[in-house]
Amino acid sequence: QKEVEQDPGPLSVPEGAIVSLNCTYSNSAFQYFMWYRQYSRKGPELLMYTYSSGNKEDGRFTAQVDKSSKYISLFIRDSQPSDSATYLCAMRTMNRDDKIIFGKGTRLHILP
Amino acid sequence: GAGVSQSPRYKVAKRGQDVALRCDPISGHVSLFWYQQALGQGPEFLTYFQNEAQLDKSGLPSDRFFAERPEGSVSTLKIQRTQQEDSAVYLCASSLLRKGVQETQYFGPGTRLLVL
C-alpha cells in the first residue's frame, strides 16, 4: 500500500458543478497537506496548504483535512473549463528533513 | 520575475546514451529539488540541494543518476547509460529555504525524457 492514495480519474463534470477530489493516507505523522494543480505539459503549482484538521477556503477552493480518518479533500465550487487539469494531493511530516509525498493525481475535465 | 526554467524541454535518447538535464532556479532560491514523474503518476523525490551542498540523494534510483549544483544556482541532473525505464518527466523545483514547512516549492515545466 502506498503512503498516499488518490483516484487517478478521469473525472468529468459539467461547468458550474461542485467538484470533490480526495486522497487517503496511511502515515499518521503527516501534518502538512497540500494541493497542487498541474496543467498538461507544465509543472505543478501550489493551490492550497493546511497544517491541521478542518477547512480552509480560498475563493472557489476549499481544502478539508480529517486526520482521524486520514482523509483530505479539495472542493471546487462553480467549476470552470479553465479548472481542467490534474490535481495532485501532497503531504509531509513536520520534520524538516522529510520529503513531500505526492498522490498520483486526479485528471479533471470540466465540460462547457 | 522569471520562474524556474529547465532545458531541454524534450529529449529523445537511445538506450545506453548519457543525458544531462539543466535547471535554472528562481534567483536567490537556496533550495533546489529534483523529481521524477512517470506517466500517470505524481512526482517522486530524487534529490535536494541547499546552495551547493547535496543534502539528500536518497531518491536517486541508481548510481547511474548523478546531480550537481557547483555554484549554488544552476543544477544539472545527469543520467548515464540510459534505460527505457528512465523515460519520464524530470521536474526541478526551487524554494527560498527548506526550513519548517512554510516555504513554497516552485516547479519548472519539466524535461520530458524518452529513451528508445
Residue B101 confidence (pLDDT): 52
Q: Of the candidates B24, B63, B93, which has an alpha carbon nearest to the alpha carbon of residue A44?
A: B93
Contact at CB, A43 and B91, closer than 8 angstroms: yes
Q: Which is more confident, B99 or A7?
A: A7
Residue B60 confidence (pLDDT): 97
Query: Is residue A104 scored above 80 in pLDDT?
Result: yes
Which residue in the set A46, A94, A96 is minimally distant from B98, CB to CB? A96
For A83, the grid coordinates are: 479548472
Q: Of the candidates A32, A21, A20, A48, which has an alpha carbon nearest to the alpha carbon of residue A104?
A: A21
Contact at CB, B42 and A97, closer than 8 angstroms: no
A105 touches chain B (CB under 8 A): yes
Contact at CB, A32 and B41, closer than 8 angstroms: no
Q: How confident is the model at residue A76 (pLDDT cuts 50, 70, 90)?
A: very high
A91 touches chain B (CB under 8 A): no
Q: Which is more confident, A93 or B70?
A: B70
Least confident range from A14-23, A42-51, A77-86: namely A42-51
Contact at CB, A31 and B98, closer than 8 angstroms: no
Query: pLDDT for B34-75, tens place per residue?
Result: 999 999 999 999 999 999 999 999 999 999 999 999 999 999
- Cβ contacts of residue A13 below 8 Å, gap of 6+? A19, A79, A108, A109, A110, A111
Residue B27 confidence (pLDDT): 94
Please give the CATH architecture assigned to the domain spanning B5-115: Sandwich (2.60)
Q: What is the mean pLDDT of chain A?
A: 93
Among A26-30, A102-106, B94-98, top mean pLDDT goes to A102-106
Average pLDDT over residues A25-39: 94
Which residue in the set A100, A103, A105 is minimally distant from B45, CB to CB? A100
Instruction: Provide φ and ψ at A82, rounded to 5°.
Output: -70, -10
Q: End-to-end distance of chain B based on CA atoms, in angstroms?
A: 37
Query: Is residue B99 scored above 70 in pLDDT?
Result: no
Contact at CB, A104 and B41, closer than 8 angstroms: yes
Contact A103, A23 (CB under 8 A): yes
Average pLDDT over residues A69-90: 96
The CA distance from A64 to A49, in Å, is 10
Query: Is residue A15 scored above 90 in pLDDT?
Result: yes
What are the structural domains, with CATH classification, of chain A? 4-111 (2.60.40.10)
Q: How confident is the model at residue A95 (pLDDT cuts 50, 70, 90)?
A: confident
Residue B26 confidence (pLDDT): 95
Contact at CB, B107 and A44, closer than 8 angstroms: yes
Smallest CA–CA distance from A91 into chain B, residue: B101
B43 touches chain A (CB under 8 A): yes
Q: How confident is the model at residue B98 (pLDDT cuts 50, 70, 90)?
A: low
